[in-house]
Amino acid sequence: MSSTISINPATGEKISEYQRIELTEALTKVQLAKNTYDSWKGKPFSERSRLMHSLADVLETHKEEYAQLATNEMGKMIGQARKEIEKCIWVCRYYADKAEALLANKPVETEAAKSYVTFQPLGVVLAVMPWNFPFYQVIRFAAPALMAGNTGILKHASNVQGCACALENAFKEAGFPEGAFANLNLDSKHIKDIIEDKNIVAVTLTGSDPAGRSVASIAGQNLKKTVMELGGSDAYIILEDADLEMATDLALLGRLQNNGQTCIAAKRFVVVDQIYDAFLDRYTEKMRVAKMGDPQDESSYYGPMARADLRDELHEQVLKSVEQGGRLIMGGVIPDRPGAYYPATILADIKPGMEAFDNEMFGPVASVIRAKDERHAIALANNSQYGLGSGVVTSNKERGEQVALQLEAGSSFVNKLVASDPRMPFGGIKNSGYGRELSGYGIQEFVNTKSIWID
């Protein structure tokens, strides 16, 4: 029997080893999830809400333990890991309190004696989740799915199986019935078998666009609903009237938060010509000061990438971008130290056709792009295969709103980095995927939107 090994990316040392399960055992877990669904779907919202609040309590009780686990397994800064658990708690309580209203019957005026739309659960939902937010990504799917009356099966990234096991245990500790939520530590080659199982009714995936294409293709062939939250190369437009300190502060956090490994992080900075040089100078100063170090050290600004192979792939992208004409301002050299560290890196004069413009740079690398004016900046921002998040920095909020409305993305923020919020829908367009998570739009993705007509 094979196993998955957790490696501490800050040291390169082995943390733990987790035995994979065989396909037959995985399918047994899926069958249990279906059996549990048959009773869970009839539970009143009050009972589901009680258990979801209980899950929030469990997460709060174990916050430090879970934060340490995320930091050890994928290198997240310890302070950011604690905030991740806090956000999980927020999402759990949001849906515990709001799900009943979000899924309330909606009357429709027709010639019928009574007509309305009702929202009913579908069944067992499979979630294929990434390592970069090992707790939050899972809760973001599970809280609305279970509050809607579905049950959930998790196929988590192999390098964060400690987090996956902790989540499964958290649902048990909260009092959810066995089978309401289960983790499958299964070889990825078996994902197709799980999706094709008759008990799986829908799939949600957060990850790369190649992974999304593969999973969506299998689900599509089996006529199963999917939600895809895929890669991003978010553009942030810096207009000439922007507060330079605010713009560079946002750019610093945008590229170094979660060690640069966030789908909705600012990755391409499209700066109008009038302030391009000033922005680049100030941004470079701030990036040089940011401390790279141990993620357990509260004084570190950013830490290692999640795995050495991912660090090496990012470095190849940097080298390719320089070969294509990009200007390396700082960074771009793998440090001679243990762990999967990569320095804060700035690539300037990036243009369409270059690696750092066309593809996602999933790590602490910033691409700075020169635009002639606002119109040109919008065109450059939209010249992307991705459309997850976007932003604009300007001292004129009305101008910012008009620019935001023209950006081709699932989210556009003015004077703030894009962030997910349970009150707002989250998702992308183009190669960044389809469907929405969070808010009422998210909880309605995995329900039967059913018309009732009584003559």
The answer to whether 381 touches 270, Cβ cutoff 8 Å, is yes
Residue 268 φ/ψ, nearest 5 degrees: -115, 120
- What is the pLDDT at residue 366? 98
The answer to whether 154 touches 283, Cβ cutoff 8 Å, is no
The one-letter amino acid code at 187 reads D
Catalytically annotated residue among 73, 92, 263, 355: 263
Domain 234-414 -> CATH class? alpha beta
Which residue spans of the chain are classified as CATH 3.40.309.10? 234-414
CA neighbor of 156 nearest in space, from 176, 132, 172: 132
Q: Which two tokens stand for residue 396?
A: 């004129």
Residue length, the chain? Answer: 455
Q: Is 298 annotated in the active site?
A: no
Other C-beta atoms lying within 10 Å of the C-beta of residue 357? 23
- What is the pLDDT at residue 446? 98
Angle between helices 63-74 and 45-61 (to 10 degrees): 70
- What is the pLDDT at residue 26? 98
pLDDT for 414-449, tens place per residue? 999 999 999 999 999 999 999 999 999 999 999 999
Q: Which residues of the chain have pLDDT under 50?
A: none
Q: Is 88 annotated in the active site?
A: no
Which residue spans of the chain are classified as CATH 3.40.605.10? 3-230+432-454
Distance separating alpha carbons of residues 15 and 73, to the nearest angstrom: 8
- What is the pLDDT at residue 7? 96
Domain 3-230+432-454 has CATH 3.40.50.300: no
- DSSP letters along 306-366, please? S-HHHHHHHHHHHHHHHHTT-EEEE--S--SSSSS----EEEES--TTSHHHHS---SSEE
β 225-229/433-434 pair status: antiparallel
- What is the pLDDT at residue 61? 98
Catalytically annotated residue among 229, 355, 360, 445: 229
- What is the pLDDT at residue 1? 66
H or E stretch at 268: strand 266-272
The one-letter amino acid code at 336 reads D
